[in-house]
């Protein structure tokens, strides 16, 4: 049975529509052979209703059982072996090394959540026993724990076909919490997504999970995604992608008769501040470090350093020259999709109209259709402040170096920035006493602060915050990465004066 | 200096508008003498900008200093003594005993948050030290803590002029977190609100808090509230009140260029399930208990039991008769405002059109204008399922007893209910083995489950969940009551590879 091309409505394959689509291989700029059936609205509704039925069972399945399911998903993904890696490469234009690395991250995330839910500590339960003799009124016994919200729709990202897609962080955290998941497959990597979906479905069957605990829906454009987010059985949404895409889903969800939470991890330009002393002491090293960070994965990371704020100093020009030199040395690389390449071209053209903006890298004119040249531009602080277009993300191997005149201008620029995933400070030890106002200002605009490092490379751990003030994410109070990302899909419930035998296991006694 | 009647823009009084309003004393149905100046849009903007300036200082003021501020607010409220209690009574029609009780709750909340922030444990900080030798990549040092969102606008409730208003739970939790607060005074109790606002401002001055840490804005209708929620310097909203009011603010906030979180605690009918055996064993006791719960505070509680689901049994009629008798005995009571009385009259009229609905209490025709009679109606399960109007909250001393034919009908009714703050089960020990499906279904619709008790009476403690699936609240993942309500106003931020001397105190080392 060929599982590639059809929708997974729970354990069942379905292809009711006449609408089909194909995937482009960005490396060769040709269509791959597989044909994919777009889901009909009927199929969307079937998946949502089935997810609701599954929820009634799934929410009461024990943590260790759900952990088995997650570990089995990881096992099944590994079993796909080279088939998965090849599909990843042919759909994303990314390298084999990257594919293997990202698969490892995906497996790690699944196993982290499996470990997390092996006991109930993650539910942050609180037990307050009755105080029948309290004056003036007795205090009742009250116990609080966390329960899952219901079916979650996950929109995977273009730039992480594995780790932030079908079985990525959103899916793993939602399943861990007890929420069924419906993945809207990303239309740039449908084969990779279908392979992973099949691995999940098989894991569900092998570990006795209810039909509908996972569905995988194919769709182009907005119709299918809109229908999923508006379906009354859907109770939350996870999204990784562009600001316009995330905002559209957020708006749909907020306008429902019953609004539901959307966690959208969206765009960011990830400002980096480099002090004059840091430039003086090590501008070459910093240039090299950042040339790599800016161009890694063809710059297609949400934490790509798209804005470098250098303090005007004797070495600013040296740094810019060195950064341009280092970046110019890096060969053109393939982008994820012709549309992404086209948008990169468009946006890097658009900014050229800004006063005093200069492109400092060599123009190589990459001769393969979806290949992009890395690009560094520079501009004065004043121009940056007056051109909000320069504050927008350019997805790809691009960074804008702003020559900041003084500390007041720096703080004004930071205050004026939209919300960001990260903010980085490159500084020398002798400057530490002067840094608190900068740290304070930057902290108010970002979710993660990095010191003397690069923002790319998002560690998967409990102390990670991946999210930030809008539009970095749609709700800065949650993270998309690390075990705490489970908090997006659960809500507290209290039990008052309940007999012990009727309480959930984890509320029966202090542990 | 007469502080009553003017807006508090930070530490300053302001009354730029020609628009004024007065408050009605619902007990006497006459206007009170004080004149209140509605805020102009300019004043709204001044308050929001000042709150932003204050935030820059306030967010870095230490926990113990903020705790002093909260405790001083409590002290100053107590110093208002009888002046506050009299104002409360003349604006709300509620009793002196209730006023004193609610003041105690308000003080307790302020002091609870002061205690909470005396150290940094509430920030749930996580420290993960670097692992420079990890294979394949070193792990950076990562430390996460919680920081405040920014200025919060609080819309107080009509039914709790102290505990869920000016210095109520939303204000106390937001100030505790480090967020400045702008209260939009509730237009039914402006004098009480102004007295408390002045107590807060004086506490801010006495404890050296920045100007703008608190403002108090007067407005009628939607103009002022809308301007506050749409102001770009405002970063979150707390609201307690009706579904239509909460939803309107939620929509405004979601449609902003930068959407902001709204925590709205809205309506609820708080279903109560009474089993056949419970009716048989103690229908009289249950009737008495519920007659009190339904009529307490003229039924004007968000946790009022507005829906009683009785299982059809030999004693259902006895219970209904007894409940009607007990409720009929209770004298008419004053409601909060003529508008609230009018709405109660309207809604209790509207439901009479439902098939087989019967009013079982005596009609006393309360002879004072804003006094209301308690009302019990009964209806069959089938009619209830088919009339969504019967699922809506009727704010006041009303409850609908549904005669449920069987267990399937009970589960269908529960599944069909909108989200609720609470759900209650009255049952006998011999029935425990049969209850899990009911508990599971009810749990999926509510924020708090009560066993053999009444939903009224919301304990202020960490194990309390006050909130629930929409429309009980706008985000079921948070609580409006208890110390965890602080989580609504904070977001995580991570520090990567930071030198110790530049970390916030609470991230410097494991505690």
CA A333 – CA A331 distance, rounded (Å): 6
Q: If contacts are CB pairs under 8 Å, which of residues 381-440 in chain B contact chain A?
A: 418-419, 429, 432, 435-436, 439-440
Tokens coding B247: 């939803």
Cβ of A490 within 8 Å of Cβ of B498? The answer is no
Tokens coding A32: 């791959």
Cβ of B450 within 8 Å of Cβ of A496? The answer is yes
Tens-place pLDDT, residues A131-168 = 999 988 899 999 999 999 999 999 999 999 999 999 99
Tokens coding A482: 């690390």
Is pLDDT of A55 > 60?
Answer: yes
The three-class DSSP label of residue A131 is strand
pLDDT for the residue A1: 57
Strand partners for B60: none
The three-class DSSP label of residue A193 is helix
pLDDT for the residue B285: 98
Q: Determine contact, residues B238/B206, Cβ cutoff 8 Å.
A: no
List chain A residues with CB under 8 Å of B493. Answer: 443, 446-449, 465
Tokens coding A452: 């003397």
CA B212 – CA B53 distance, rounded (Å): 7
Query: Would you give the distance in Å from CA B307 to the centre of its chain?
Result: 20
The answer to whether residue A179 is catalytic is no
Residue A52 contacts B where some CB pair is shorter than 8 Å = no
Per-position DSSP letters for B172-194, written without gaps between them: HHHHHHT--EEEE--TT-HHHHH
Is pLDDT of A264 > 70?
Answer: yes
pLDDT for the residue A170: 98
What is the pLDDT averaged over residues A44-66? 97
Q: In a structure prediction context, what are the per-residue pLDDT tens digits for chain B, which is 511 residues long? A: 577 899 999 999 999 999 999 999 999 999 999 999 999 999 999 999 999 999 999 999 999 999 999 999 999 999 999 999 999 999 999 999 999 999 999 999 999 999 999 999 999 999 999 999 998 889 999 999 999 999 999 999 999 999 999 999 999 999 999 999 999 999 999 999 999 999 999 999 999 999 999 999 999 889 999 999 999 999 999 999 999 999 999 999 999 999 999 999 998 999 999 999 999 999 999 999 999 999 999 999 999 999 999 999 999 999 999 999 999 999 999 999 999 999 999 999 999 988 899 999 987 767 899 999 999 999 999 999 999 999 999 999 999 999 999 999 999 999 999 999 999 999 999 999 999 999 999 999 999 999 999 999 999 999 999 999 999 999 999 999 999 999 999 999 999 999 999 999 999 986 5
What is the pLDDT averaged over residues A326-354? 94
Q: Determine contact, residues A470/B261, Cβ cutoff 8 Å.
A: no
Tens-place pLDDT, residues B216-246 = 999 988 999 999 999 999 999 999 999 999 9
CA B385 – CA A333 distance, rounded (Å): 61
Beta carbon pairs, A and B, within 8 Å: 190
Pick A496's closest partner by Cβ from B126, B449, B469.
B449
Residue B510 contacts A where some CB pair is shorter than 8 Å = no
List chain B residues with CB under 8 Å of A448. Answer: 493-496
List chain B residues with CB under 8 Å of A497. Answer: 450-453
The residue of chain B nearest to residue A55, with distances taken between CA atoms, is: B444
pLDDT for the residue A221: 82
The residue written with tokens 């004797």 in the block is: A314
Tens-place pLDDT, residues B118-174 = 999 999 999 999 999 998 889 999 999 999 999 999 999 999 999 999 999 999 999
Tokens coding A114: 């499996």
pLDDT for the residue B276: 96
Q: In percent, how much of chain A has pLDDT > 90?
A: 95
What is the pLDDT averaged over residues A102-111? 98
State which H helix or E strand residue A37 sits in.
Answer: strand A36-37
Is pLDDT of A329 > 80?
Answer: yes
CA B312 – CA B401 distance, rounded (Å): 11
> Phi first, then psi: what are they for B84, rounded to 5°?
-70, -45
Q: Determine contact, residues A401/A447, Cβ cutoff 8 Å.
A: no
Q: A120 falls in which pLDDT band (50, 70, 90)?
A: very high
pLDDT for the residue A136: 84
Residue B250 contacts A where some CB pair is shorter than 8 Å = yes
**Average pLDDT of every residue of chain A:** 96
CA distances from A391 to A417, A420, B149 (A): 7, 11, 22
pLDDT for the residue B511: 52
pLDDT for the residue B364: 74
State which H helix or E strand residue A202 sits in.
Answer: helix A190-206
Q: Determine contact, residues B307/B269, Cβ cutoff 8 Å.
A: yes
Is pLDDT of A45 > 90?
Answer: yes
Residue A45 contacts B where some CB pair is shorter than 8 Å = no
CA distances from A440 to A429, B54, B235 (A): 18, 14, 17
Q: Determine contact, residues A268/A393, Cβ cutoff 8 Å.
A: yes
Residue A135 contacts B where some CB pair is shorter than 8 Å = no
- Report all structural domains of chain A as residue ranges with CATH numbers, in order of start: 7-123+147-266+473-497 (3.40.605.10), 271-451 (3.40.309.10)
The answer to whether residue A461 is catalytic is no
pLDDT for the residue A510: 65
Pick B494's closest partner by Cβ from A144, A448, A498.
A448
Count CB atoms within 10 A of the CB of residue A97. Answer: 8
pLDDT for the residue A220: 86
Q: With CA atoms as reference, report the closest residue to B16 among B25, B24, B26, B5.
A: B5
Strand partners for A183: A154, A216
pLDDT for the residue B418: 96
Choice among A171-175, A245-249, A354-358, B195-199 with the minimum mean pLDDT: A354-358
For strands A181-184 and A262-265, give the pairing: unpaired
């Amino acid at each position: 049975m060929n599982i590639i091309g059809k929708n997974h409505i729970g354990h069942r394959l379905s292809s009711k529509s006449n609408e089909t689509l194909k995937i482009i291989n960005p490396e060769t700029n040709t269509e791959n052979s597989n044909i994919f059936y777009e889901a009909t609205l009927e199929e969307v509704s079937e998946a949502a209703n089935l997810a609701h039925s599954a929820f009634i069972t799934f929410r009461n399945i024990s943590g260790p059982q759900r952990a088995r399911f997650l570990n089995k998903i990881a096992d099944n993904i590994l079993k796909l072996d080279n088939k998965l890696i090849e599909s990843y490469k042919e759909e994303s234009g990314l390298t084999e090394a990257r594919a293997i690395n990202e698969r490892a991250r995906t497996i790690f995330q699944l196993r982290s959540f499996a470990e997390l839910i092996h006991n109930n500590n993650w539910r942050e339960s609180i037990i307050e026993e009755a105080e029948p003799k309290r004056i003036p009124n007795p205090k009742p016994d009250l116990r609080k724990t966390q329960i899952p919200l219901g079916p979650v729709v996950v929109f995977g990202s273009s730039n992480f076909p594995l780790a932030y897609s079908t079985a990525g962080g959103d899916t793993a955290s939602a399943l861990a919490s007890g929420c069924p998941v419906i993945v809207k497959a990303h239309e740039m990597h449908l084969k990779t997504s279908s392979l992973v979906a099949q691995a999940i479905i098989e894991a569900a069957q092998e570990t006795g999970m209810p039909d509908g605990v996972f569905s995988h829906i194919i769709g182009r454009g907005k119709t299918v995604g809109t229908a999923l987010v508006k379906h009354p059985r859907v109770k939350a949404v996870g999204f990784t992608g562009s600001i316009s895409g995330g905002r559209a889903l957020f708006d749909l969800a907020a306008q429902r008769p019953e609004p539901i939470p959307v966690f959208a991890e969206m765009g960011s330009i990830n400002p980096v501040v480099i002090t004059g002393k840091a430039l003086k002491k090590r501008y070459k090293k910093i240039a090299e470090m950042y040339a790599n960070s800016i161009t890694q994965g063809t710059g297609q990371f949400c934490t790509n350093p798209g804005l470098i704020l250098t303090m005007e100093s004797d070495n600013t020009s040296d740094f810019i020259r060195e950064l341009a030199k280092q970046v110019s040395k890096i060969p053109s690389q393939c982008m994820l999709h012709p549309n992404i390449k086209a948008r990169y071209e468009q946006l890097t053209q658009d900014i050229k109209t800004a006063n005093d903006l200069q492109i400092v890298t060599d123009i190589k004119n990459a001769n393969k259709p979806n290949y992009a040249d890395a690009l560094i531009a520079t501009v004065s602080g004043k121009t940056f402040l007056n051109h909000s277009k320069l504050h927008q993300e350019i997805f790809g191997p691009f960074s804008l170096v702003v020559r900041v005149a003084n500390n007041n201008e720096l703080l004004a620029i930071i205050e004026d920035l939209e919300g960001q995933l990260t903010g980085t400070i490159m500084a020398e030890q002798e400057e530490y006493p002067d840094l608190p106002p900068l740290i304070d200002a930057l902290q108010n605009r970002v979710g993660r602060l990095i010191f003397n490092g690069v923002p790319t490379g998002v560690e998967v751990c409990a102390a990670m915050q991946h999210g930030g003030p809008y539009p970095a994410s749609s709700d800065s109070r949650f993270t998309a990465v690390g075990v705490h990302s489970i908090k997006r899909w659960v809500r507290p419930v209290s039990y008052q004066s309940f007999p012990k035998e009727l309480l959930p296991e984890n509320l029966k006694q202090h542990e």
